[in-house]
Amino acid sequence: MRNFVKRLWSGFPFFLKEISYLISKFTPFFIARPRSVYISFYDLVCDGLCIMCSAGIAKKKGIKRNASTEPISGEKFAQLIKQLKKLSGKGLLVSFTGGEPLLYKPLFEILELCRKEKIKFSFTTNGYLLNDCNIKKIIDSKLFNIGISIESLNPEINEKMRPVPNGTKKTLKGIDKLIIEREKSKSDLSINLKCVITQLNYSTIPDLVKKYGKIKGVFITPQPYNEFDVPEVAEKLWVKDTGKFREVINELILLKEQGYSINADLDTLKGFITYFESGLDEHGVYRRDLLKQSMKDKLIYNDCTIGYSTIFIYSDNGDLTYWLCPYMHSIGQFSEGKMLEEIWFSKKAMMVREKTRKCLRFCNLSCTRKQPLLDKILIYLRIK
């Protein structure tokens, strides 16, 4: 009971954010402040070679991205965190990806800063470096959430997508150790197993859910493969047998009803079928132009209010750029010397917000998934 009250109390700032979000959405007064921040440092080194990821593809081709710069310094990252705290106050969730965060030297200093600032921090890793030492540091850091990417329990399938020899064994060992240490130390850390849905692995996702979906503190987030400009990759990864895929989605829905923790509501899960169908012609062949057309055809405004609650931050040649939606214009950058608060409330940001509400894109960003307030509260209480 005491724990439950503690959880409710720690969720209160998020509830207040939700209220200011609703006021901003339904009245002319914009008072919302960000509650979710997604930080990606594309120039972070990575020890993966994933075939669906632009970092893996670039590495395979021998392209060194942003080769002229080092990743953002720990000092700059710390300044950014302080500005975020000033803008957002309590109830802030910062998610960090790379590259590979466990290869970023200042990571644990940043975790310590977030702990002091009472910011809920989360990062996503491929799990290869989840050794005893890092697991201890992670638990001690009071990290809020860790995302661990795993595409299948079957090494043959996982390593087709994540071609690192023995990578599956390393990641699974890391997950299992982390679950044990979490329990031993009575940590609140939530563990998010992330899985990209593709033609290669979709049929094995229920196995992942069955193995981990009822373990305390663990949940599974399936995320459809996001197609970008590499046609031969898209051809291989796009889910084509959508009839069989539908059966798998139905199985996931059933598992969810049986209490397995899957981080997607029923509409979202069903939406994954529509998403993959929208890229196929009448012969079931993947056609990028069809996907684009179906985005245009959708002709219903998303009324997307992502820019009322979220900021995306990307590294760019030693600078940091700020975005309300990754597919629209940037709203500013660190080197401008302005405080983030000024940028968040700027005219430019308000113009982007207007545009997002009229967005027609068939968007599958997991952070745009609409969730009723009650669902959000229930998930928060369950995963914390």
Ligand X SMILES: C[S@@+](CC[C@H](N)C(=O)[O-])C[C@H]1O[C@@H](n2cnc3c(N)ncnc32)[C@H](O)[C@@H]1O
Long-range contacts of 115-119 (CB under 8 A, 24+ apart): 115/141, 115/142, 117/81, 117/82, 117/85, 118/90, 119/81, 119/84, 119/85, 119/92, 119/93, 119/94
Q: Residue 363 interacts with ligand SF4 (CB under 6 A)?
A: yes
Out of 79, 223, 302, 346, the only residue in the binding site for ligand X (CB under 6 A) is 223
The span from the CA of 334 to the CA of 340, in Å, is 8
Say whether residue 56 binds ligand SF4 (CB under 6 A). yes
> Pattern 3-22, binding to ligand X, x per CB under 6 A?
--------------------
The number of helix segments (H) and strand segments (E) in the chain equals 15, 9
Question: Nearest distance from residue 372's CB to ligand SF4, in Å?
Answer: 18
> Among residues 325, 331, 343, 349, which is the contact residue for ligand SF4, using CB under 6 A?
325
Which amino acid is residue 166, in one-letter code? N
Find the shortest distance in angstroms from Cβ 205 to ligand SF4.
17
Which of ligand SF4, ligand X, none does residue 356 bind (CB under 5 to 8 Å by kind)? ligand SF4
For ligand SF4, give the closer residue by CB, 302 or 371: 302
Distance of CA 281 to the CA centre of its chain: 30
147 binds ligand SF4 (CB under 6 A): no
Minimum distance from CB of 78 to ligand SF4 (Å)? 23
Collapse the DSSP code of 343 into the 3-class scheme (helix H, G, I; strand E, B; otherwise coil) and give the result.
helix
114 versus 340: smaller Cβ distance to ligand X: 114
Q: Are the CB atoms for 53 and 81 separated by under 8 Å?
A: no
Give the shortest CB-208-to-ligand SF4 separation in angstroms.
17
For ligand SF4, the binding residues in 64-93 under the rule CB under 6 A are none
Q: Does 306 bind ligand SF4 (CB under 6 A)?
A: yes
The pair phi, psi for residue 42, each rounded to 5°, is: -65, -20
Q: Which of 100, 151, 159, 227 binds ligand SF4 (CB under 6 A)?
A: 100
Site membership for ligand SF4, residue 304 (CB under 6 A)? yes
Q: CA–CA distance from 228 to each of 10, 54, 173, 194, 235 (Å)?
A: 38, 8, 31, 19, 11
> CB of 66: closest distance to ligand X in angstroms?
15
Restricted to residues 82-141, the positions that interact with ligand X (CB under 6 A) are 97-98, 100, 124-126
Q: DSSP secondary structure string, 154-223?
A: SHHHHHHHS--TTHHHHHHHHHHHHHHHHHHTT---EEEEEEEE-TTTGGGHHHHHHHHTTSTTEEEEEE
Burial of 204 per CB tally in 10 Å (0-12, 13-18, 19+): middle
Residue among 20, 66, 226, 330 that touches ligand X (CB under 6 A): 226
226 binds, among ligand SF4, ligand X, none (CB under 5 to 8 A by kind): ligand X
Q: Please, what sign has the CA dihedral across residues 302, 120, 384, 182? A: positive
Stretch that binds ligand X, among 46-54, 107-115, 246-254, 346-354 (CB under 6 A): 46-54
The conformational region for residue 66 under phi > 0 = left, psi -120 to 50 = alpha, else beta, is left
Sites of contact with ligand SF4 (CB under 6 A) = 46, 48, 50, 53, 55-56, 98-100, 126, 302, 304, 306, 325, 327, 356, 359, 361, 363, 365, 368
Sites of contact with ligand X (CB under 6 A) = 46, 48, 52-53, 97-98, 100, 124-126, 149, 194, 196, 223, 225-226
